[in-house]
Amino acid sequence: MRRCLLPPIPEFALAADLLAEAADALLAGDRETCATRLVAADMRPLRDFHHRVAGPLSIEIHLQLRAPKFTPVPKENRPRMPNGSASMEIMKRDGFRCRFCDSRVVIKEAASVFNHFVPEAARLGSTNETRHFALGTITASIDHIVPYCRGGTNAPDNLLTACGPCQYGRNNFTLAELELTNPFDYPPIDDGWDGLTRLLGAKPKRWAVRTSESVG
C-alpha cells in the first residue's frame, strides 16, 4: 500500500513558496514582484508531472491499464459536490494540503485574484497548455474517498483536499483498486499554511490608494 500515486517532485514545494511570495507582494502593492514570482512558478515540470499522473493509465503509476468497471449509483438526492463554504471547511480541516501526497495547495480563487491584477503573469487559459502550470497543478480540489459515481456522499468523512494530479489521477477508482491507504489513517499537517486565503477580498495597497485618490 502507498500514500499517493506518485510522490510529488520538488517543484511542488518551490511553486507553493513562489505563489506565497507573489501573494504577499500583491497585497503590499508590489505588482512587479508579484508578476516575477508568478512567472518563476510557471514551471513546465509541473505540467509534465500532472499529465503523467492524471493522463493515460499506466501500470507503473496506477497499477491499472483500464478504467474500473462498475454500475453507476443513481444520483437520487446526492449533490455532486459540497457548496463553497463546506468545501472551505474541508480544506481548513486538512491544513490546505493534499491528503494524499501532503503537498501544499492553494484555493482556486487565488488564480482569479492574480489574474485580475497581473493577467499577463497568471495565465488562465482554457487548455492545460495555456493555463499557468503551478496554478493548474497545486490548486486545491475536493475529492471523494468513495467516488461519487460509486455511491460516495458529501459527508465530511468522505471528503478530503487533493491536488490536481492526485484527484484526477484517481479518477473513479477506489482506494483499494489503486492500492492507496486511506488518508484519514494519518493526521493532517497543520503548519499555518493558509492556501493563499489571505487573497480573498484582496485590495493591494497601491490599488486602494489610487481608488481613494480618484474618489477625492
In Å, how far are 8, 58, 119, 135 from 42, measured between CA atoms? 16, 26, 13, 8
Distance CA 111, CA 19 (A): 10
Dihedral through CA 104, CA 105, CA 110, CA 111, nearest 10?
120
* DSSP-derived 3-state class of residue 68: coil
Q: What is the pLDDT of residue 211?
A: 38
Per-residue pLDDT tens digits for 179-189: 999 999 999 99
Count of other CB atoms within 10 angstroms of residue 38: 26
Q: What is the pLDDT of residue 202?
A: 77
Average of per-residue pLDDT across 96-118: 96
Mean pLDDT check: name the lowest of 34-38, 168-172, 206-210: 206-210
Q: What is the pLDDT of residue 77?
A: 84
Question: Residue 34: is its pLDDT beyond 50?
Answer: yes
Instruction: Report domain extents, the chain.
Output: 11-190
- pLDDT confidence of 144, banded at 50, 70, 90? very high
Question: Residue 135: is its pLDDT beyond 80?
Answer: yes
For residue 97, list its beta bridge partners.
104
Angle at 190 (CA atoms; ends 152, 170), nearest 5 degrees: 30
Provide the grid cell at 161: 483536499
Average of per-residue pLDDT across 146-151: 96
Match 486538512 to its residue by C-alpha cell: 94
Q: What is the pLDDT of residue 4?
A: 98
Per-residue pLDDT tens digits for 37-85: 999 999 999 999 999 999 999 999 999 999 999 999 998 888 999 999 9
Please report, rounded to a whole number, the percentage of residues in the chain having pLDDT higher than 70. Answer: 95
Provide the grid cell at 88: 472551505
Give the DSSP letter string of 147-216: -GGGT----GGGEEEE-HHHHHHHTT--TGGGTBPPGGGSPPP-SS--TTGGGTT---HHHHHHHHHHH-
Distance CA 164, CA 53 (A): 9
Per-residue pLDDT tens digits for 108-118: 999 999 999 99
